[in-house]
Amino acid sequence: MFEYFSHKTVVITGAAGFLASHLCDQVLQAGGKVIGVDNYLTGQEKNLAHLTGNPQFRFIKADVSTDPTGYLPTEKIDLILHFASPASPPLYQKYPIETYLVNSWGTHQLLQYLHQHHPESRFLFASTSEIYGDPEQHPQTEAYFGNVNPNGSRSCYDEAKRLGETICGVHTRDLGMDVRMVRIFNTYGPRMNPRDGRVIPQFIMEALENKPLSIQGDGSQTRSYCYVDDLVKGILSLTASENGRGQTVNIGNPEEFTVSQTAQIIWQAIKPNTEPQLIFKDLPKDDPLRRKPDITRAKELLGWRPEISFNQGLQQTIEYFKKLVM
Amino acid sequence: MFEYFSHKTVVITGAAGFLASHLCDQVLQAGGKVIGVDNYLTGQEKNLAHLTGNPQFRFIKADVSTDPTGYLPTEKIDLILHFASPASPPLYQKYPIETYLVNSWGTHQLLQYLHQHHPESRFLFASTSEIYGDPEQHPQTEAYFGNVNPNGSRSCYDEAKRLGETICGVHTRDLGMDVRMVRIFNTYGPRMNPRDGRVIPQFIMEALENKPLSIQGDGSQTRSYCYVDDLVKGILSLTASENGRGQTVNIGNPEEFTVSQTAQIIWQAIKPNTEPQLIFKDLPKDDPLRRKPDITRAKELLGWRPEISFNQGLQQTIEYFKKLVM
């Protein structure tokens, strides 16, 4: 399916993160050579442990906000997938400076490096549904400009991803480079950090530890969750596609669940025929009330759509977390 | 009025630009010492020519997107006014990379420099009404999140100013610094670049040269114009005020004119009792249809409001441009 990657040398930044570690696996499986870069600020070494000894995989420990000539090898690079960034609210709020730098200055430096050394190569930027902020349009199409607070506790991530897109746009239009942008919606699956504050790992861990499920707000806010295998396929399709050049594409699963429904589904999957205790907590400031991707562009451009049901995906994810707590 | 500046050492970036050159004058007049920094990318040497030989003024030619330890003197700095940036659409579209860098990476580096060397000192960031994009709220209050295209021909300016604000917010909240942000609305007055594509200098130059006035779109879009002396007073009030710490404040003149009205008023001021010829051109993409500041916060916090009428300000501005063409 992804012949494009065969014999390509692919740099993946943030390689030890949840999403990018899966990208490493899939690019390797498609016959590519992977150079994974991470400084382990929020990435986890164990996410790449299974690749130790794989001759097609190399790991470089480096901060992607520094000059790439200091850490990238001089050989030909065909593609950079730029995924380095803290990505959950508790983590990017812990590292606000690192977060805005890697998405703005880091993106600029990688693109400038590519432009100088391998101007024909491809670049994919991991953008996010967070650039829509607390949206006033449902579902969100790529044409929607968003509703983001420029000076709040989430801005270090949201605004830096927006400027990351701007920087990609400048390199596309003004320097003629082959740049693609994926706006990633909520994703879940094995290798998520169980303590990063996202709703699915949090509910799974609470249920596995037989604790009450803690719900932010009244639980009526909706989320849509994409299983990581679906998401990775979408990202690699956009990267490989002849039609992808210069495109910005939403990748996510449009099926919506309220946070309360999510709690119930996860509890039932782990402790069938019992009822969870629920604890309601304050809704964090600027938390979006609703987020749902319009994936028309992904369907039309790439022929991509999510295929794995929430229940299927959850089973895989719960298995992973069970092994963690055992 | 501005005792605060007396005997203070003030770094003003973008000193050779239209606005910042007026700030240099006013800070000097208030008894401050000014270190002006500019790389003349879009600033004009002649805007500072009158300060040559002033012992309280020093000029450093440097790119504010580079490390400040490379160009700033080691003496105590009490205040940085960060105004460096191309600021009109034709100019920032000519220099998109320089524009997004100076407002993001440049802002970060200046704040980090201040934090390391003079952590108690003050920092003021020149933000802009452009962070509201094509607004859906009129007039715009500081609480409005804006409607900005993250990937259009104006994004290099709009989004970088937004991230500049984010970076200021992080240094305020997480590093406890004294940072203030001014959102500057359309301003006019002497020392504007006559060829930078803004509507007032363009109409004045066309009228002085007896040419037809060229109007973008149908001329029904509105603008509000603040005379530079009013604006500079507002900025210095925010900078000096005990109440300004951590604040973001709109400074501008809420009086609205359509672009067609503006053309008529300027023509009548230069060639009374004659009628201008008008040429209608396409409206540029993402051009805001309406922009008007809500200045309640400036009034309440600073006791500031604009005092100079459009006709008064225009006379001063026309005098300046007359000397340019003679």
A156–B168 C-beta distance less than 8 A: no
Residue given tokens 């440049």 in the structure block: B106
* Phi, psi (deg, nearest 5) at residue B254: -75, -5
Residue A51: per-residue pLDDT: 98
Among B155, B163, B297, which would you mutate to test the A interface (most chain A Cβ atoms within 10 Å of its Cβ)?
B163
Closest-CA distance of chain A to residue B67, Å:
14
Nearest to A167 among B100, B166, B168 (CB): B100
Interface residue B182 vs chain A (CB under 8 A): no
In the A/B pair of chains, how many CB contacts fall below 8 A?
Answer: 104
Interface residue B100 vs chain A (CB under 8 A): yes
User: Cα dist. A131→B4, B10, B29, B222 in Å?
Assistant: 40, 36, 44, 29
- The total number of structural domains in chain A stands at 1
B173 by Cβ neighbours in 10 Å (0-12 / 13-18 / 19+) ranks as middle
Tens of pLDDT along B299-312? Answer: 999 999 999 999 99
Residue A101: per-residue pLDDT: 98
Interface residue A166 vs chain B (CB under 8 A): yes
User: Cα dist. B257→A221, B184, B265, B318 in Å?
Assistant: 42, 17, 10, 18
pLDDT at B1 over 70: no
Residue given tokens 């609205």 in the structure block: B256
B149–A145 C-beta distance less than 8 A: yes
Interface residue A111 vs chain B (CB under 8 A): no
**CATH number, domain at A48?**
3.40.50.720
Residue B325: per-residue pLDDT: 81
pLDDT at B196 over 90: no
Interface residue A169 vs chain B (CB under 8 A): yes
Q: Which tokens sit at B70?
A: 């490379």
Q: Is residue B205 part of a domain?
A: no
Interface residue A31 vs chain B (CB under 8 A): no
Residue B235: per-residue pLDDT: 98
- Measuring CA to CA, which residue among B85, B104, B105 is closest to residue B15? B85
User: Which residues sit opposite B258 in a β-bridge?
Assistant: B222
Residue B138: per-residue pLDDT: 92
pLDDT at B326 over 90: no
Q: Is residue B234 part of a domain?
A: yes
Please tell me which residue of chain A has the smallest CA distance to B136. A147
Residue given tokens 């230069």 in the structure block: B270
Element (H, E) at A205: helix A199-208
Tens of pLDDT along B107-150? Answer: 999 999 999 999 999 999 999 999 999 999 999 999 999 999 99
Active site residues of A: 157
Q: What span, in angstroms and rounded, lies between the C-alpha atoms of A157 and A88?
A: 9
Q: What span, in angstroms and rounded, lies between the C-alpha atoms of B219 and B222?
A: 8
User: Cα dist. A309→A235, A305, A306 in Å?
Assistant: 18, 12, 8
Domain that includes residue B15, residue range: 3-187+228-253+289-308
Residue numbers of chain A with a pLDDT score lower than 70: 1
Residue A197: per-residue pLDDT: 82
Which of B157, B188, B225, B227 is the catalytic position? B157
Query: Cβ–Cβ contacts within 10 Å for residue B246, how many?
Result: 16
Tens of pLDDT along B53-78? Answer: 999 999 999 999 999 999 999 999 99
**Residues of chain B neighbouring A165 (CB-CB closer than 8 A):** 150-151, 155, 159
Q: What span, in angstroms and rounded, lies between the C-alpha atoms of A256 and B83?
A: 45
One-character DSSP codes across B119-138? TTSEEEEEEEGGGGBS-SSS
Residues A129, A185: contact at Cβ < 8 Å?
yes
Q: Is residue A275 part of a domain?
A: no
- Regarding predicted confidence, which is higher, B283 or A168? A168
Q: Is residue B171 part of a domain?
A: yes
Nearest to B163 among A146, A160, A170 (CB): A160
Q: Is residue A261 part of a domain?
A: no
Nearest to A150 among B147, B149, B165 (CB): B165
Please tell me which residue of chain B has the smallest CA distance to A172. B151
Q: What span, in angstroms and rounded, lies between the C-alpha atoms of A294 and A299?
A: 10
Q: Is residue B128 part of a domain?
A: yes
Tens of pLDDT along B223-274? Answer: 999 999 999 999 999 999 999 999 999 999 999 999 999 999 999 999 999 9
> A119-143: b or e for each residue (b if 16 or more CB lie within 10 Å)?
eebbbbbbbbbbbbbbbeeebbebe
Closest-CA distance of chain A to residue B134, Å:
10
pLDDT average, residue stretch B22-39: 98
Q: Is residue A150 part of a domain?
A: yes
Residues B48, B22: contact at Cβ < 8 Å?
no
- Measuring CA to CA, which residue among A80, A107, A83, A78 is closest to residue A20? A83
Closest-CA distance of chain A to residue B144, Å:
8
> B76-115: b or e for each residue (b if 16 or more CB lie within 10 Å)?
ebbbbbbbbbbbbbebbbebbbbbbbbbbbbbbbbbbbbe
Q: Considering the entire predicted model, what is its pTM?
A: 0.96
Closest-CA distance of chain B to residue A217, Å:
22
SS3 state at B59: strand
Query: Cβ–Cβ contacts within 10 Å for residue B272, how many?
Result: 7
Interface residue B159 vs chain A (CB under 8 A): yes
Tens of pLDDT along B155-179? Answer: 999 999 999 999 999 999 999 999 9
**Residues of chain B neighbouring A166 (CB-CB closer than 8 A):** 100, 150-151, 155-156, 159-160
Q: Is residue A135 part of a domain?
A: yes
Per-residue three-class SS string for B103-117: HCHHHHHHHHHHHHH
A104–B105 C-beta distance less than 8 A: yes
- Regarding predicted confidence, which is higher, B284 or B104? B104
Closest-CA distance of chain B to residue A166, Å:
5
Residue A290: per-residue pLDDT: 85
